[in-house]
Structure 1
Amino acid sequence: MQRNTHRCSGFAEVNGTRLYFEMAGKGRPLVLLHGHFLNHTLWNMHFDVLAQHYRVLRFDLRGFGQSAPYLTEPRPFFWHEDLWHLLHYFELKPASLIGFSLGGKVALDFALSQPDMVESLVLVSTGVSGFHIKERTRGKPLEDAFHSIEQALEQEDLERAADLCLRTWTIGPHRTEEQVSARVRNFIRRGTLHQWMNQSHKVLQPLEPAPPAFERLEEVQAPTLILAGTQDVPASVELAEILRKRIRRARRVLIPDAAHHLILEHPELFNRIVLDFLATYR
C-alpha cells in the first residue's frame, strides 16, 4: 500500500476477492463507482477535485481493472455486498455514493439494503436492477445495435464490438462521431478493448437482489441526484424520469449535448453540479 498525508492506494481483500483502490482527501466519505468494462480511471477528471472537499474512495469493481474476480474459485456474489465489506474495511460510513451506469446500479442496491450507511446518492446514466434496457429496445432500431454488439463479441471480433459500443453508447443514436471529442472516444474505446482482452469479467457470477431495486424505488431514503445525457439511448433517458418520479427525495438534471458518458464529455459541469448537490447535505 502506498501512502502520503491524505492519499493511499493498494488492494483490499474483502468478500472473497481483492479490490484495487485509491483514496484521497479528508472529511466526509464519498465513494465513486465506475461502469461496465471500465475501471477507476473513469474518475481521473473528478477524483482530485472532489478530494479537495471529501475523503474520496475510488476502486475497481470485482473482475474489472486491477481487481480480481475471485481469490479462489468462482462463486455467485452481489455487487453491493462487495461495497458493504469495503466500507467496513475502511470504516467509511455513512458515505455518499456516486455511481455511473453499473456503478449506479450497485449504489442503488446498496442504498436499499443499507439505508443507514448512505448519506446521499448520485446516479449517473444509471442502471437499475430489474430494469433491462435490452428488453425496452425490442422492436426498435436500437435492438439491432445491441444484437450486433453481442454477435461481434461471440465471434471475438473485439475491434468491431468496441466500435459498435462506441457508436451506441458514447456517440449516441442522434449524433455523428465528429460531435464527440476524440479524447472521450479514445478513452472509452481503449478501456473497453483492454477489459475485453483481459476477460477477467467473463467468470463473474453476479446476482440481482430479490425483489430488485426497480420494484422498491419508493423505499429509497437518501437524497438522490439523477444525471442523464439528452443524447443517451432513449431507455436511459426514460429511466432517469422514472427515477425522478418514484424516488421521494430525488431531483433530475439533464445534461445537453452528452450521451451515456456525460461525465467525460462535461467533467467541469459534472463536478460543479455534484459538489453543489453534496454541499446541501454536509
Structure 2
Amino acid sequence: MLEKGDIEGATELNLRMWVDGPLRVAQDVNATVRQQVYEMQFQAFKIEEPEEAELVKLDPPASERLSEIVAPTLAIFGELDWPERFNIVSLLAGAMPNAQALTLAGGAHMVSMEQPGEFNRLLLEFWRSLEQAGE
C-alpha cells in the first residue's frame, strides 16, 4: 500500500493489526485511542525511509544475548494482542535475569493507551519495588 502511495490504507491496516488486534473490530476499540494512533502512524508513514539503509547483522543474534541484559525490565502484554506477542514477551522475561512479564486485561498492542490508569499503576508499582530493593 505504501509503495502505491496509499498512506490512508496502510495506516488503517496498521490500526487493524496493532490497535484492534486479532480479537476485535474497530467499533470495539475506544475511538479516541484509535484516532490518536491513526494520526501518529499516518505522520510516521509520511516520513521517507533512507534509500540505502545499512543492515547490521549481529553475531551472535540479539535473541541469543538476552541473558546479558541485567537491567530490571517489565514487559507488559495486552491480553487482546496477537498471541505471537505473548510468546515474545515470555521469551524476554524468561531469558533476561531481572525481567518480569505481566498481562494487562482489556487492551491489545497499544495497551498503555487503552488502559492508561492500570498501565501506569503497574509501572509505578514496578518502579517502587526497584526503589525498595535499592536498584
Instruction: After TM superposition, give the deviation of residue 209 of structure 1 in Å.
Output: 3.9
- Count of residues in Structure 1 that have an aligned counterpart in Structure 2: 129
Deviation at 1:207, TM superposition (A): 3.8
Cα displacement (A) at 1:219? 1.9
Give unpaired runs (5+ residues) of structure 2: none
Instruction: Tell me by how many angstroms 1:221 deviates.
Output: 1.1
SS at match of 1:280: helix
Letter of the 2:82 partner, please give it.
V
Q: Does 1:241 align with 2:95?
A: no
Aligned to 2:4: 155
What SS is found at the alignment partner of 1:253? strand
Structure ranking higher in strand proportion: 1
Match of 1:274 among 104, 123, 135: 123
| Bigger share in helix | 2
**Pairwise CA distance, 1:211:** 2.6
Q: Shift in Å at residue 208 of structure 1?
A: 5.4
Alignment of 1:207-222 (within 5 A): 207=56, 209-222=58-71
Shift of 1:171: 0.4
What CA distance in whole angstroms lies between the structure 2 residues aligned with 1:177 and 1:275?
Answer: 30
Give, as a single letter, the amino acid of the residue that structure 2 aligns with 1:228. F
Q: Give, in angstroms, the shift of residue 229 of structure 1.
A: 0.7
Q: Identity across aligned pairs (percent)?
A: 32
Q: TM-score, normalised by structure 1?
A: 0.43
Please tell me the residue identity of whatever aligns with 1:220.
I
Distance 1:241 1:227 in 2: 10
Amino acid at match of 2:46: M
The aligned runs of 1:119-134 (5 Å cut-off) are: none
Cα distance, 1:218 vs. partner? Answer: 1.7
Q: Distance in 1 between matches of 2:14 and 2:99?
A: 30
Specify the SS of the correspondent of 2:130: coil
Q: Which has the higher contact order (CA 8 A, sep 6+)?
A: 2
Give the C-alpha shift of residue 233 in structure 1.
1.6
In 2, Cα distance between equivalents of 1:244 and 1:207: 25
- Taking the TM superposition and a 5 Å limit, the aligned residue runs for 1:30-109 are none
Ranges in structure 1 where 5+ consecutive residues have no aligned partner: 1-151
